[in-house]
Amino acid sequence: MSTATPRPAAVPNVIVVGAGLSGMTAAYTLAARGLEVIVVEAKDRVGGRTHSDPDYEGGPLDLGGMLIGVTHDRSRRLGETLGLTWAHARPEGRMTYRVNGDVILAPDSSYPTTIDGSDGFDVKLAEAYGKFDVLAARVGADGPWDTAFDRELDMMTVATWLELNVPDPVVRRIVDTDLNIIVGAATSEISMLFWAQYVAKCENMHALQVTANDALWIGGAQQISQRIAEQPGITLVTESPVTSVQYTDDSVTVHTKKSAYTAAHAIIAVPPASANAIAYIPELPLQRRQLQARAPMGRESKVQMRYPSPFWRESHQSGEVFDLDLGYLALDVTRPGDLSATIVAFIGGKDYDAWFALGDTGRRQAVIESLVATLGPAASEPLSYHETDWPSIPYTLGAPVTVMPPGLLSSIGTALNAPIGPLRFAGTEAAPMWTGYMEGAVRAGEAAAQSILDSLATSATTAAGSR
């Protein structure tokens, strides 16, 4: 790996902007085919939204992306190829809910039946989530972009859709909180078309709620990008935010404050809002500009508590807590070999806003009090408490994924990943499937790399034919 200024002799074939998992996967795919790749990264590290602390007391801690899904084949294969191993997450046991101060233990692998003294919640919740699945199947992962149906869905927020389609206010509140956690935005901020397509890209609601959280990388998810950085053919330049990208039909120059790099192709592997902070000469087409200007990152914090043991398992609790009062989802993410047990809690969207306003001490107190109520008194004294506030992290600006307000998705069409001259767009947001996840980052990186390989093959064939 080289983190210094690139060797002058190494004229790159491709420049990758952004050393997150997507950009690194693209670089890996291209370098494996013999191309010279320069990866230019703003931060002082690779991995972007994956960031692991290997030396955290008690065992490695993942501060960002962490869980691998059952069908996350490409990212799993990539990690395994690089020598990593994984272990199953989600220990057996009952999930715990807290609603209006009541603590409810759900039956194994099911929603709770009785909430707030009234029955039938398992059926009502399954019905509400089932409606998302129906819409997701109709919208599909790839569009279409121009039907009246899609435009109508894009004219309303998820909050409005819930008001119209989910009569029970408690069910609405559960679904609402769930979405705040999944995408890090309030349902009043996001388009129903965006959400339906998000579900389609992640298979269905069951996949989003259960199978996406199947396993954990031993040692942490950031290692994938770190190991790619050691591969031949890849030159890494860190602490170099890209300020402008100047392009013609067949060449691109990427500028940082310190240097400029020129190649035949570039892959922009940063989220749309981060891509909007870069100047493009000439200007990008209108649809791509709109996407970058109008689609923000969600907002989410990841809070992790370490305990001497996973004491909740003794009472057949899985450690999974869904607290509607504070608005978070917690999971037991203890890895084999860890010296202590870990509970992680995700707080996003409007619940993040309210919780963040509590201040340092108030936030910690609120989370610990909730865990005491739901998992038991042993939760009161964690060995450690760690918050990662992603909205305050430069060049990422939020978590876990980009969201779209009404009116955007139906008007930007394919701008998420359409090539522009020598530019390709990667990043989990550009993924054909599993957008918002590490799997999406890998798939989008592979797709952008493949598009460049295809274009090089076409040029080679044309050149051979004209001889």
Ligand X SMILES: Cc1cc2nc3c(=O)[nH]c(=O)nc-3n(C[C@H](O)[C@H](O)[C@H](O)COP(=O)(O)OP(=O)(O)OC[C@H]3O[C@@H](n4cnc5c(N)ncnc54)[C@H](O)[C@@H]3O)c2cc1C
Interface residues with ligand X (CB under 6 A)?
17-23, 40-43, 48-50, 64-67, 241-242, 269-271, 274, 277-278, 300, 302, 390, 395-396, 399-400, 427-428, 436-441
Q: Decide whether 162 or 404 has the Cβ nearer to ligand X.
A: 404
Closest contact distance (angstroms) between CB of 256 and ligand X is 7
Pairing relationship of beta strands 341-348 and 384-389 according to DSSP bridges: unpaired
42 annotated as belonging to a binding site for a ligand: yes
Q: Decide whether 406 or 440 has the Cβ nearer to ligand X.
A: 440
Q: At 127, which helix (H) or strand (E)?
A: helix 121-139
Q: Decide whether 193 or 401 has the Cβ nearer to ligand X.
A: 401
- Tell me which amino acid residue 88 is: H
Q: In which region does residue 244 sit, left (phi positive, over 0), alpha (psi from -120 to 50) or beta (all else)?
A: beta
Closest contact distance (angstroms) between CB of 131 and ligand X is 25
Q: Is there a cis peptide before residue 144, judged by omega within 30 degrees of 0? A: yes
Closest contact distance (angstroms) between CB of 73 and ligand X is 13
Q: Decide whether 196 or 229 has the Cβ nearer to ligand X.
A: 229
Q: Measuring CA to CA, which residue among 279, 275, 282 is closest to residue 420?
A: 282
52 annotated as belonging to a binding site for a ligand: no
121 annotated as belonging to a binding site for a ligand: no
Displacement of CA 460 from its chain's centroid (Å): 37
The residue written with tokens 């930007």 in the block is: 412
Q: What is the DSSP string of 266-298?
A: EEE-S-HHHHTTSEEESPPPHHHHHHHHH-PBP
Closest contact distance (angstroms) between CB of 25 and ligand X is 8
320 annotated as belonging to a binding site for a ligand: no
Q: Decide whether 104 or 295 has the Cβ nearer to ligand X.
A: 295
DSSP classification of residue 301: E
Q: Decide whether 32 or 103 has the Cβ nearer to ligand X.
A: 32
Q: Decide whether 242 or 321 has the Cβ nearer to ligand X.
A: 242
Cβ of 139: how many Cβ atoms within 10 Å? 26
311 annotated as belonging to a binding site for a ligand: no
149 annotated as belonging to a binding site for a ligand: no
Helices (H), 295-435: 349-356, 359-375, 409-412
Cβ–Cβ < 8 Å for 428, 198: no
Closest contact distance (angstroms) between CB of 462 and ligand X is 32
- Tell me which amino acid residue 152 is: E
Cβ–Cβ < 8 Å for 429, 401: yes
Closest contact distance (angstroms) between CB of 344 and ligand X is 9
Cβ of 380: how many Cβ atoms within 10 Å? 10
Q: Decide whether 93 or 398 has the Cβ nearer to ligand X.
A: 398
Closest contact distance (angstroms) between CB of 136 and ligand X is 19
Q: What is the DSSP string of 235-248?
A: EEE-S--EEEEEE-
Return d(Cα 193, Cα 432) in angstroms, integer: 16
DSSP classification of residue 420: B
Q: What is the DSSP string of 146-171?
A: S-HHHHHHTTSBHHHHHHHH---HHH
Which segments are annotated as binding site for substrate? 346
Which segments are annotated as binding site for FAD? 22, 41-42, 242, 429
